[in-house]
Chains A and B, each alone.
Chain A
Amino acid sequence: MDKSHYVMLMYLIMHLGLIFFMYPENIIASTDAVHWIAIVSGLAVQFIFIAIYMKGLNFFPGKDIIAIYGSAGLGVSLVFLVPIVLYFLMINIITVRAYSEIISIVFLANTPLWAIMILLMLVSTYIAAKGVETIFRTGLLLGLLFLPMILLIFLASFQNVDWNYVFPLYENDFTFWTRPTFYQSFFAFAGSFLFLGFVRTHFPYKDNKVYLTVLSLVPFFIFSVYVPVLTFGQNTASTLHFPYVVVIDTLQINWLIFDRITMFFLFTLITFIMLFTSLILWMTSRIVSCCKPSIKQMYYTQGLAVVIYILCLLVPDWKKVETLFTWNAPLRFYCLIAIPLSVYYLGLRSRRKMRHEHA
């Protein structure tokens, strides 16, 4: 049975939650003009690696990534799975801490950070503890409920746009490859496609649909950067934290019952983030529970959640969060590049082996 729509929706939701917050800031800081080149380059890199990854996975029908590495030997598994676990842990810590900070800045100024973080962690752990099918079905429900609103606000954000800011359309300027903020912008998509390798057994999906979803996210990436640039201009936009959120704040929608739609937009994205965190948590506990399968996976999930929470509490301020970002970058690129390539290589090797056996 083809359950690709679950996978597509989940992919969409995960990325929407990540795009609108820090990605515009990073891209605007990486380059002065012609942002689309930076955006498209980053996305092209991601697309290439997703394609390699999925082709590699296709060599092992019905197996998930842990089984693939397991069949190649313990050493190989350690080399690849341990960085994944570390990467996921760090992503969770960064995400929870950063988003709690954002919530605290923008709306709930008096609520202490630990209280906000506990809400995020509890909800995510609850979802993760119930298993991957629950995660995906919750994604379906949340998508049905909240995606229309997000799309509406996204379309409305074009209200104050001045298209003249688009020019110049092309410049031979590739210096963004040298800026660290460009590499930080990869946070929004690198590594989050790894879940495709974990859920094959539960939710069989068609590759084409995944490619379609990846492509359909491209306009969101582009406009999440361009809407602030077109509204404010590059100079002003580069002085802002969270430029897209500030754009939403300038919108005037007279017929809505509520005044500040920034809040609804942000909080809806935060629910998507809760889902994202829960999926990452589930994947981490899945890998860790393979070490000692006797204990039920649910306990691993809860244990990991407690560890993540405590580590989050230890991060004192925003500067530290940015440092964590930079520390996470090498892991991210390792996961982005090495994992798909290794899976593909293992796939090729196993096919060659099978051919030898048949011959």
Chain B
Amino acid sequence: MSMLKWTVRLLMLLSIMGLLSGCWDNKDINHRTLPLILGVSLQDHEYKIIMQIPELVHDSVEIKMISESGKTINQAIDKISVNLEKQVDLLHIKVIILERKLAERGMKDAISGFMRSEEISDKAYIVICDEDLNSFFEHLNKTNDPKGMTLYNFFEKNAGWNPQIAISPIWQVYRSVHSYTRDVAIPMIKAGKSTICDYTGSAVIKNGKMIERISPDETLLFNAFNEQSTQGKIEVMNHASVLVVSNSLKHTTSLQNNKPYMQSRLKLKVVILETRGNPTSAIIKQEIDKLLTERFQRLFSKIQKSKADIFGIGQHFRNKIPREELVRWRTDYFPNLQLSLKIVTDIQNEGYLKIRAD
């Protein structure tokens, strides 16, 4: 009896398997195309999508550029998929390039669309392209990289990232759209003459729109404030150039008369690379101090004017300002913020040559 029961059950099970004929999600990986880079631009109220597709031609891989336009991003991708012999899978998108015009118009919908989609990972980087998207992609195609990884490696911390490049995954941009106290800076690139791309600074994004631009050096300070490591950045002054080895930032905040005050202390550890003349370490420290402080003041006044809190200073006031008031952080509190930055430099070592301490 038990054997009969088990046979019946087994047959039922196998017959269910027989419905495998469609095998719904089963699609071999060589029937999918997995683009890494997605370019989005806005032309005449229609979204134009450009993708890089690797193709196998005579045992070698070639990169093809495919573009389509549609009323929404997904429609454009669907149109591409219709005309391609493989299924387009956005599962491995690592970098999304938005054209500057789109960023200035407003990316809130696009970003929400990316967050909502479960195909595109939230970790993908958003990058703004400073020039026409078509020409940028053509330039990309010329690099002989079958996997399309080069641009991604540009932003990867394990590979080619530098401290003055801002990193903005989708989820951080999305967070800045909804947050009371935080805005974000998105890196801007354009086609490079001998390298794959030229980093031209960062775009300050407020409420999904690009409102301001900052230079690469200023982005370094932005990274420092956001607790990214600035290790590896070289600063050049009049008398010496140094390599930053580590940095740490401490804040003290206070609220007086509804006006926020903040004192920050940036502690840098540097290593001397080259000197011009024969400076003492005191002079070098002074020069670094002056250089960074000036740069910081310039940057801070710029963003304070545009009321975009990319440093996330509002975060530090969360325990001082009640939540209902925090809604007005950007409009009321932030423009009145007094921020003083003190830089303390520590020369960790001087290399093989000695330097005077005076």
User: Residues of A at under 8 Å CB distance from B?
Assistant: 32-33, 105-112, 115, 118, 122, 162, 164-165, 167-169, 171, 232-233, 235-236, 239, 246, 249-252, 254, 260
Q: Are B24 and A167 in contact (CB under 8 A)?
A: no
Q: List residues of chain A with CB within 8 A of the CB of B24.
A: 108, 110-112, 115
A164 contact from B16, B315, B323, Cβ within 8 A: B315
Which segment of B56-64, B178-186, B231-239 sits at the interface? B178-186
Q: How large is the interface on B (under 10, 10 to 19, 20 to 34, 35 or more residues)?
A: 20 to 34
Q: Are B175 and A167 in contact (CB under 8 A)?
A: no
Q: List residues of chain A with CB within 8 A of the CB of B312.
A: 162
Report the minimum CB–CB distance from B229 to chain A (whole Å): 15
User: Residues of B at under 8 Å CB distance from A?
Assistant: 13, 16, 24-25, 115, 118, 121-123, 158, 169, 171, 174-175, 177-180, 182, 312, 315-316, 318-319, 322-323
Q: Are A236 and B323 in contact (CB under 8 A)?
A: no
B123 contact from A164, A167, A252, Cβ within 8 A: A252
Q: Are A165 and B25 in contact (CB under 8 A)?
A: no
Residue contacts A-B, CB under 8 angstroms, 23 given:
A32-B323, A106-B118, A109-B25, A110-B24, A112-B24, A164-B319, A167-B319, A168-B323, A169-B319, A171-B323, A233-B175, A233-B178, A235-B178, A235-B179, A236-B174, A236-B177, A246-B122, A246-B171, A249-B121, A249-B122, A249-B171, A250-B123, A251-B123
Chain A residues touching B, majority SS: loop
Q: Are A249 and B175 in contact (CB under 8 A)?
A: no
**Given A33-B323, A109-B118, A111-B25: 17 more A-B contacts, CB < 8 Å:** A105-B118, A106-B118, A108-B24, A111-B24, A115-B24, A122-B13, A162-B315, A167-B318, A167-B319, A168-B323, A171-B323, A233-B180, A233-B182, A235-B180, A250-B123, A254-B158, A260-B121
Q: Are A236 and B318 in contact (CB under 8 A)?
A: no
Q: List residues of chain B with CB within 8 A of the CB of A249.
A: 121-123, 171
Report the minimum CB–CB distance from B337 to chain A (whole Å): 16
Report the minimum CB–CB distance from B252 to chain A (whole Å): 14
**Chain B, Cβ-Cβ closest to A173:** B323
**Chain B, Cβ-Cβ closest to A33:** B323
A236 contact from B16, B123, B175, B316, Cβ within 8 A: B175
CA distance A33 to B13 in the complex (A): 50
Q: Are B121 and A164 in contact (CB under 8 A)?
A: no
* A108/B25 contact (C-beta < 8 A), A168-B322, A232-B171, A246-B122 known: yes
Q: Are B318 and A168 in contact (CB under 8 A)?
A: yes
Q: List residues of chain A with CB within 8 A of the CB of B169.
A: 250
Report the minimum CB–CB distance from A299 to chain B (whole Å): 11
Report the minimum CB–CB distance from B86 to chain A (whole Å): 16
Q: List residues of chain A with CB within 8 A of the CB of B115.
A: 246
Q: List residues of chain B with CB within 8 A of the CB of A165.
A: 315, 318
* A250/B323 contact (C-beta < 8 A), A162-B315, A164-B316, A165-B315 known: no
CA distance A142 to B246 in the complex (A): 44
CA distance A32 to B326 in the complex (A): 13
Q: List residues of chain A with CB within 8 A of the CB of B16.
A: 118
Q: Are A239 and B121 in contact (CB under 8 A)?
A: no
Q: Are A239 and B171 in contact (CB under 8 A)?
A: no
Q: List residues of chain B with CB within 8 A of the CB of A32.
A: 323
Report the minimum CB–CB distance from A85 to chain B (whole Å): 26
CA distance A118 to B17 in the complex (A): 11
CA distance A232 to B158 in the complex (A): 25
Q: List residues of chain A with CB within 8 A of the CB of B118.
A: 105-107, 109
Q: List residues of chain B with CB within 8 A of the CB of A112.
A: 24
A250 contact from B158, B171, B315, B322, Cβ within 8 A: B171
CA distance A106 to B158 in the complex (A): 28
**Chain A, Cβ-Cβ closest to B19:** A115
Q: List residues of chain A with CB within 8 A of the CB of B25.
A: 108-111
CA distance A109 to B24 in the complex (A): 9
CA distance A248 to B248 in the complex (A): 27
Q: List residues of chain B with CB within 8 A of the CB of A233.
A: 175, 178-180, 182
Q: List residues of chain B with CB within 8 A of the CB of A252.
A: 123
CA distance A168 to B323 in the complex (A): 8
Report the minimum CB–CB distance from A153 to chain B (whole Å): 15
Q: List residues of chain B with CB within 8 A of the CB of A108.
A: 24-25
* A236/B315 contact (C-beta < 8 A), A108-B24, A112-B24, A252-B123 known: no
Report the minimum CB–CB distance from A34 to chain B (whole Å): 10
CA distance A129 to B87 in the complex (A): 42
CA distance A351 to B169 in the complex (A): 64
CA distance A107 to B182 in the complex (A): 32
Report the minimum CB–CB distance from B17 to chain A (whole Å): 11
CA distance A167 to B319 in the complex (A): 5
Q: Are B178 and A250 in contact (CB under 8 A)?
A: no
CA distance A251 to B122 in the complex (A): 9
Report the minimum CB–CB distance from A136 to chain B (whole Å): 24
Q: List residues of chain A with CB within 8 A of the CB of B175.
A: 232-233, 236
Report the minimum CB–CB distance from A352 to chain B (whole Å): 49
Q: Are A236 and B319 in contact (CB under 8 A)?
A: no
Q: List residues of chain B with CB within 8 A of the CB of A162.
A: 312, 315
Q: List residues of chain A with CB within 8 A of the CB of B158.
A: 254
Report the minimum CB–CB distance from A96 to chain B (whole Å): 17
* A250/B122 contact (C-beta < 8 A), A108-B25, A233-B178 known: yes
Report the minimum CB–CB distance from A297 to chain B (whole Å): 15
Q: List residues of chain B with CB within 8 A of the CB of A105.
A: 118
CA distance A185 to B77 in the complex (A): 38
CA distance A260 to B123 in the complex (A): 10
Q: Are B319 and A168 in contact (CB under 8 A)?
A: yes
* A239/B178 contact (C-beta < 8 A), A164-B318, A165-B318 known: yes
Most buried by A among B122, B158, B322: B122
3 closest A-B pairs by CB: A167-B319, A164-B315, A167-B318
CA distance A106 to B120 in the complex (A): 11
CA distance A122 to B13 in the complex (A): 10
CA distance A162 to B178 in the complex (A): 16
Q: Are A236 and B322 in contact (CB under 8 A)?
A: no
CA distance A242 to B122 in the complex (A): 14
Q: List residues of chain B with CB within 8 A of the CB of A254.
A: 158
CA distance A33 to B322 in the complex (A): 11
